[in-house]
Structure 1
């Protein structure tokens, strides 16, 4: 980006000769067609190391939300405990990416706090899917691995892989009797049905009448 460089810019004025319209040689005494054009020239200099370091510091900053009272535990101790939870840090890494949260403007502090709880609950469910699936595979007496996309067998599926596979489940929505909505569950592939079994979730709950 230009803010990280020293640079000099100038605009040069150049007179160019245009190509004559039509064919044949020009008539005697015809002046050549000329046009004034402008050319922008940018010369890069040295990098602005201070600005680059400031941006690195900004990007390396992360949000740490805690419900521990200030008087109950120093902030440094809370941060030290948090650094020991590398799995939690891995799952919260998306919050550092500007395009996930920058467009969200909540205006009031209590809305920001509420949104943090929404993210926390979503992360709990996300992690629970992975934990429950892996625990069920570990205790499966028949098959301790499952088939993942790419025809790969693994005993440690991730939440992202499981949710990607669940995206293939189709629910057909149609009008029912008495103004209700009828949902019909489409065909579920065996490897996807096993995800429901591992999570102890009945897929028919997706096909309810409302």
Structure 2
């Protein structure tokens, strides 16, 4: 069966997602990209290297278990975190990879499945996604995208130049979901400052695109970074002063040892170490205490950098470059939704090696796992939408009997784990009767929210009895 699924998995998946989107009105305009390791436990035979087929990477996981991994690359809908497209990669694939083949394959898949016009799609990723290579791939494919990039010194210098040229921060009317119930003065304030950047295709100088670089200042992030910076500066200076008192004592009697101790005890991996300089001075006229540890602090540079606390950079290309600054921020803030997709596959899958003799079967199994994630995600989405519409939480679903308006698929399935059907058979093994377990109060609420009949009513229909 797995062998047959492998050859047809792309066509089956396209039909599943297209029908799900159409029947459940799933919005596919915003797709969130991310990767994770998908882990299998079991002893598998050595796999032959085959082009296009993922390779299981053996090794120990953080729990010390011997497992084998694939890398799962997925695009999930912002509407419910449903998996829309995925690809299984070699287990050793790093996060710095340029996913050009995967995005090109998605575009071809989307065209064949008639999801929606690709120029209407905006890809959203975390800090690992908008590499220069990925951005160039998206622009060439005509895909819009939004994502953060690691802020380098040239980015900070550009921001300083924009401010010096007269541009000002503009407050963005964005409120995070978790802060909706807070008083306005207690909410995080977001400010934006953006500019347009022209990019030319290095392989075809006649092609160019306009990108939006949007600097975001978060008051909450600025507060946390300021506190961390202050604590690190104070900790480093205090430790250096302590080491100064130990110079010429114990084993602090060589320049090398003193410098090593400062690095190990004071600097460690603290970011603020770049503002400190140290020097071990030798005094020949002081034979009993010939060494002296001196240090300096570049407080002017530290203050200059502190002015950019709480600032990060978002890049937007394609259709996304035409959005307002507030919309760019709001779209990117929804990146967490992809975690719903990965939450359902973030476990160790125990598989008998007998069934996975070939890499193709492993890829087919990943396909079945993602079908499960799609179905579970749809159930979770439908229940949450129904509860939000009715504003009636499911009572008693959560631990300690708490209520919830946002149940997870795992929690919903667990409620029905002990639901049973008793069948009565005669001596000839002919069924003469059946009894369904009585639904408890929580199960009743879930079926009501989904608009589903009781199991007994379903199986009483002609053809199912």
Q: TM-score range by the shorter chain?
A: 0.5 to 0.7
Q: CA deviation at 1:119?
A: 0.8
Change (3 A) 1:108 1:138: same
Measured in 1, the distance between the counterparts of 2:386 and 2:365 equals 32
RMSD: 4.1
TM-score by length of 2: 0.27
Aligned residue number for residue 66 of structure 1: 87
Of residues 59, 67, 90, the one that matches 2:343 is 90
State the secondary structure of the residue aligned to 2:101.
coil
Measured in 1, the distance between the counterparts of 2:393 and 2:405 equals 6
Aligned residue number for residue 110 of structure 1: 360
Aligned residue number for residue 198 of structure 1: 449
State the secondary structure of the residue aligned to 1:146.
coil
Q: CA deviation at 1:180?
A: 4.1
Asked which structure has the greater RCO (Cα within 8 Å, sep 6+), the reply is 2
1:166 aligns with 2:187: no
TM-score by length of 1: 0.54
Matches within 5 A, 1:99-138: 100-101=349-350, 103-104=352-353, 105-138=355-388
* 1:166–1:192 Cα contact (<8 Å) kept: yes
Gaps of 5+ in 2: 1-58, 74-85, 89-98, 107-122, 131-146, 148-334
1:187 aligns with 2:444: no
Change (3 A) 1:93 1:181: farther
Matches within 5 A, 1:39-54: none
Q: CA deviation at 1:198?
A: 1.7
Change (3 A) 1:175 1:69: farther
* 1:171–1:185 Cα contact (<8 Å) kept: yes
Of residues 364, 386, 395, the one that matches 1:146 is 395
* 2:72–2:87 Cα contact (<8 Å) kept: no
State the secondary structure of the residue aligned to 1:63.
strand
* 2:423–2:431 Cα contact (<8 Å) kept: no
Q: CA deviation at 1:117?
A: 1.8
* 1:171–1:207 Cα contact (<8 Å) kept: no
The runs of at least 4 aligned residues of structure 1 exceeding 6 Å deviation read: 56-61
State the secondary structure of the residue aligned to 2:442.
helix
State the secondary structure of the residue aligned to 2:396.
strand
Measured in 2, the distance between the counterparts of 1:167 and 1:74 equals 38
Measured in 1, the distance between the counterparts of 2:69 and 2:365 equals 22
Q: CA deviation at 1:118?
A: 1.2
State the secondary structure of the residue aligned to 1:80.
coil
Measured in 2, the distance between the counterparts of 1:170 and 1:128 equals 24
